[in-house]
Amino acid sequence: MSTPPDPERTPGWVDEIYAGVRYGLAGRVIAEQQSPYQRVTIIDSERYGKGLLLDGCWMTAERQERHYHEAIVHPALCGAAAIERVLVIGGGDGGTARECLRHPGVRQLDLVEIDGLVVSWSQQYLPSIGGSAWSDPRCQLSVGDGIAWVRAAAAASYDVVIVDGSDPAGPAEGLFNRAFYEDCRRILRPGGVFATQSESPEAFRQVHLDTVRLLRDVFGHADPLYGWVPMYPSGWWSWTFAASDGRRYLAPQPERAAAVAAGCEIWSPRWQRGGFEAVPAFVERALLAG
């Protein structure tokens, strides 16, 4: 089903409008459809190439996606005790799976995305983002509900769980609550690491703080990493890593880091150190206050 044109759109621009601010790219919509879950939009932009929005919110773009995907993956994959079995919830554009599969130690990656249209349009319009993940025999794609997947998964069945969802509204809302995080903790093996995108400390301050606090409560250890995704609200973004048996995501294992670092545009052990240190003062105060 195609959707009516958005009356807030400015000709020649594609914007996410959030809290009175526009985050936009010069470009045009090339495909748009209402899926059973959300409005899926593919655009072509001058600066960042083709990109994807869900319900009018930026998700990814060809020439900018590495800020996000390298940041959500490598602290977890370089820090976990083992990385044989990885679960990615969401991530239907394939970028998170692609970065995970650059680690030779990954034997099986389950990618569970709720919206089949996001997967098929990402494969069709944004093939460089998923890259070789789509044909990698280690990658097993399931189109379905990630929350139900995690609930049904056996205890201690994954080494790493990564939640690459959208903002906490619509289909991603249930990816930000205690019951879901408790299931994620249950399915991690000893030494396992959990990672999630945790919104902007500026544009989504309360969601960001609540997410870090809740993850600390559920896992025992959780730390936000700060970086940039230029087209997201405020451009200032965060990913939070959690583990039950220590903050092992802080220190990349040198062999694993060496296997991927040269192929990264943004991530490096040094960048990661800085990103974990760059906790804004107001976040530090709020987290200390409990």
Q: At closest approach, how far in Å is the CB of 113 from ligand SPD? A: 10
Q: At closest approach, how far in Å is the CB of 99 from ligand SPD? A: 10
| Cα 47 from Cα 57, distance rounded (Å) | 18
Q: At closest approach, how far in Å is the CB of 258 from ligand SPD? A: 25
Nearer to ligand SPD, 127 or 246 (CB): 127
Name residue 141's beta-bridge partners: 111
Contact criterion met (CB below 8 Å) for 249 and 223: yes
Contact criterion met (CB below 8 Å) for 42 and 29: yes
Task: Work out which of 23, 48, 68, 236 binds ligand SPD, going by CB under 6 A.
Answer: 68
Q: At closest approach, how far in Å is the CB of 115 from ligand SPD? A: 12
Nearest-10 crossing angle of helices 269-277, 66-79: 100
Instruction: Based on the shown chain and the rule CB under 6 A, indicate whether residue 95 belongs to the binding site for ligand SPD.
Output: yes
Nearer to ligand SPD, 82 or 266 (CB): 266
Q: At closest approach, how far in Å is the CB of 237 from ligand SPD? A: 8
Q: What is the 3-state secondary structure (H, E, C) of 92-104?
A: CCCHHHHHHHCCC
Nearer to ligand SPD, 58 or 158 (CB): 58
Instruction: Based on the shown chain and the rule CB under 6 A, indicate whether residue 59 belongs to the binding site for ligand SPD.
Output: yes
Nearer to ligand SPD, 120 or 253 (CB): 120
Instruction: Based on the shown chain and the rule CB under 6 A, indicate whether residue 91 belongs to the binding site for ligand SPD.
Output: yes
Q: Of the residues 164, 167, 183, 223, which is catalytic?
A: 164
| Cα 133 from Cα 96, distance rounded (Å) | 9
Nearer to ligand SPD, 57 or 114 (CB): 57
Instruction: Based on the shown chain and the rule CB under 6 A, indicate whether residue 70 belongs to the binding site for ligand SPD.
Output: no
Token code pair at residue 124: 């069709």
**What stretches of the chain show up as alpha helix (H) in DSSP?**
66-79, 95-101, 116-125, 127-130, 146-152, 178-187, 205-219, 254-261, 269-277, 281-289
Q: Which stretch binds ligand SPD (CB under 6 A): 28-36, 76-84, 88-96, 107-115?
A: 88-96
Is there a catalytic annotation at residue 110? no
Instruction: Based on the shown chain and the rule CB under 6 A, indicate whether residue 93 belongs to the binding site for ligand SPD.
Output: yes
| Cα 262 from Cα 268, distance rounded (Å) | 8
| Cα 167 from Cα 165, distance rounded (Å) | 7
Sign of CA dihedral 17, 23, 26, 29: negative
Task: Report the catalytic residues.
Answer: 164
Q: What does the binding site for ligand SPD look like in residue numbers (CB under 6 A)?
A: 57-60, 68, 91, 93, 95-96, 164, 166-167, 197, 232
